[in-house]
Amino acid sequence: MRRAFVMGSNGPADLGPLEFARLDAESFARVLSSPRCGFRVTMPEAGANAFAVRQLLYEAVEECEAGDTFLCYFSGHGFLERGSLFLLWDDSDVGRLLSSTVPVADLLQAVKICPAENKLLILDCCHAGAVVNMGGWKNSAEVPVSETEIRPENHLVLMASNRLERARELRWLRASFMTKSIAAALGERFADADLDGDNRISIGDLRRWLESQAKRHNKDHPDHPVPVPFLFGQSKGEYYLTTGGGDWEPYELPWADGSTMVVLPRHPRGGVLCLSKHPITNAQYRRFVDATDDGAIVEPEGKRFVRGTAEAPGRWEGPFYPWRDDAFNHPDMPVVCVSYDDALAYCEWVSKDLMRGRRSATLLPTAQVWDLAEFGTEFPTRNPSSWLGGTRAIHHRASAPASVDRTGERTNARGFADMVGNVWEWCRGTIRFIGKAKGYGSEEGYEAALREKLKYKPEIRGGGFMDDLSRTEIFLEASRLPQRTNTRHADLGFRISTELDTYKLPEHVLDLLSTFKEYEPIYLEEPIAE
């Protein structure tokens, strides 16, 4: 089990409170609970007093077992008194340190006796005096952290500075420099921070990343220097802040149309999210065409790209019938030349004709679900290294699609094959419900206005066999396609998704899923056309 205790406080109002310490803690908790990191996070409620915080910490430590990974984090003010470090809380009084603060000695004792195999304490603070935070400074004392009571006791301590050079929170970042840099390494800058290329962020990767980011910042912002974070202590083995592929074992189950559904590593809040392991194949789509009696769905027909010359540019030409071309018609190849509406019709056929009224509907995945399956986060980086390094091989820079991957060569750590390369994939068009807005009179009125003015249109994901994916982004809005959602290209297919009731999965899978972050239902379910 991966467990984390995350706390942050801007400090008491009479001591020059920080602006972003609480936000640091909240953002760091979100990153840790993401599928990529996989921590079960405990966080005190805003306004909790120091005694309540300590009690919650002790309970979190007592829940740990041998073999667990434990992380404890604090962002805020530190106050140094007679060689002891005290973490200030919202209602702290420097005249009553024992009763109104969180002594680091108590925190270290708790971490020391924690039975977890590997432990990491992150202190994004420095020693703060009575007059602190003028201009954003997080300290004013001149005592090295390493000279306090911190000792290497089979756990690691990551601090915002080695000595108190003045650890900053930066207004243009709206965060502490160290926390912002760590969150980037575990989130949108993952590919850059994974220095050894093993698809994980170890504490060694993180230390080197923080050092490089601090040096680059100081070079670019000499008027606002930050210290180089300092790592202290020792661990029994390598400490990983991300799960990589080793801690999550993909769980598969058969679907009515012959697809293999793979469970997404996400907390089953309302249901269990699943996505098909492979794109829909020619064989699957042919059964759909054969089962359609009204003639509305026919053999795929679209356009094929003809490469250009120095005199004439390349262009899409049609009609092209992929099932009549030996390079495209293998039963195990992804179906291509299907429009957005064709993909929706396939999903409806599976739900109504094959599922026979069962509660689990078959849908196109939203772009966010697709991103989660490929990257482990709904907010992926746009750096090509993040998708080029996700599998051992990618089918791109080719003249025709490949049969879907059954070998694992093009399968990512979450168990999904050919997410990148082979064919582009339709993703469901949805609108984001942001909340009730002023001036619309009602929530219904706001939703109507949102549909009219702020529609989130269908997208395609993944890149195709013709593209050089070291140069081509794998994210594209349907509005940029030649015929928008009516586009039927020879490199455009789809896969399917669903949300299962929890009782359909074994208990051990649900136990593991419960350690991940919940999937927030922020997208309305109704698909919309352009």
Residue 454 confidence class, pLDDT cut points 50, 70, 90 = very low
Q: Is 238 a domain residue?
A: no
What DSSP line would sit under 155-207, residue for residue?
SEEEES-SS-S--BEETTTTEEHHHHHHHHHHTTTHHHH-TT-SSS-BHHHHH
Three-class DSSP category at 152: coil
Average pLDDT over residues 310-330: 92
Q: Where are the beta strands (DSSP E) in 183-336?
A: 230-233, 252-254, 260-263, 272-276, 302-306, 315-320
Q: Is 522 a domain residue?
A: no
Cα separation of the two ends of the chain: 45
Same domain, 271 and 222: no
**CATH number assigned to the domain comprising residue 412:** 3.90.1580
For residue 421, the model assigns a pLDDT of 96
Same domain, 410 and 265: yes
Residue 13 confidence class, pLDDT cut points 50, 70, 90 = confident
Q: Is 311 a domain residue?
A: yes
Q: Distance (Å, rounded) from C-alpha 435 to C-alpha 433?
A: 6
Same domain, 292 and 208: no
Same domain, 330 and 439: yes
Average pLDDT, the chain: 80
Average pLDDT over residues 26-39: 86
Three-class DSSP category at 74: strand
Average pLDDT over residues 78-90: 79
Same domain, 310 and 458: yes
Same domain, 85 and 221: yes
Q: Is 64 a domain residue?
A: yes
Same domain, 204 and 350: no
159 CB neighbour count, 10 Å cutoff = 25
Average pLDDT over residues 183-195: 83
For residue 357, the model assigns a pLDDT of 61
On the question of pLDDT at 530 being above 60, the answer is no
CA atoms within 13 A on the CB side of 251: 20
Q: Is 340 a domain residue?
A: yes
Same domain, 108 and 208: yes
Residue 230 confidence class, pLDDT cut points 50, 70, 90 = low
On the question of pLDDT at 435 being above 50, the answer is no
Q: What is the pLDDT of residues 252-273, one digit of tens each?
A: 999 999 999 999 988 777 788 9
Q: What is the pLDDT of residues 35-51, one digit of tens each?
A: 778 889 999 987 788 88
Question: With pLDDT > 70 as the criterion, what percentage of the chain qualifies?
Answer: 80
Higher pLDDT, 255 or 357: 255
On the question of pLDDT at 180 being above 70, the answer is yes
Q: Is 242 a domain residue?
A: no
Same domain, 18 and 102: yes
For residue 443, the model assigns a pLDDT of 53
101-103: strand order across its sheet: 78-81, 84-88, 101-103
Q: What is the pLDDT of residues 105-149, one digit of tens each?
A: 888 888 888 888 888 888 887 543 222 232 343 443 334 444 444
118-124: strand order across its sheet: 40-42, 2-8, 69-75, 118-124, 156-159, 230-233
Residue 91 confidence class, pLDDT cut points 50, 70, 90 = confident
Tell me which residue range forms the domain holding 501.
260-513
Same domain, 267 and 151: no
Amino acid making up residue 237: G
Residue 237 confidence class, pLDDT cut points 50, 70, 90 = low
Same domain, 280 and 348: yes
Q: Is 239 a domain residue?
A: no
Residue 342 confidence class, pLDDT cut points 50, 70, 90 = very high
Same domain, 123 and 168: yes
Residue 299 confidence class, pLDDT cut points 50, 70, 90 = very high
Residue 365 confidence class, pLDDT cut points 50, 70, 90 = very high
Mean pLDDT check: name the lowest of 166-180, 257-271, 283-297.
166-180
On the question of pLDDT at 432 being above 80, the answer is no
Average pLDDT over residues 423-449: 59
On the question of pLDDT at 428 being above 90, the answer is no
Count structural domains, the chain.
2
Q: Is 519 a domain residue?
A: no
Average pLDDT over residues 492-516: 86
Higher pLDDT, 480 or 82: 480
**CATH number assigned to the domain comprising residue 57:** 3.40.50.1460
Average pLDDT over residues 68-88: 83
Torsion sign, CA atoms 96, 100, 105, 106: positive
293 CB neighbour count, 10 Å cutoff = 7
Amino acid making up residue 294: D
On the question of pLDDT at 383 being above 60, the answer is yes
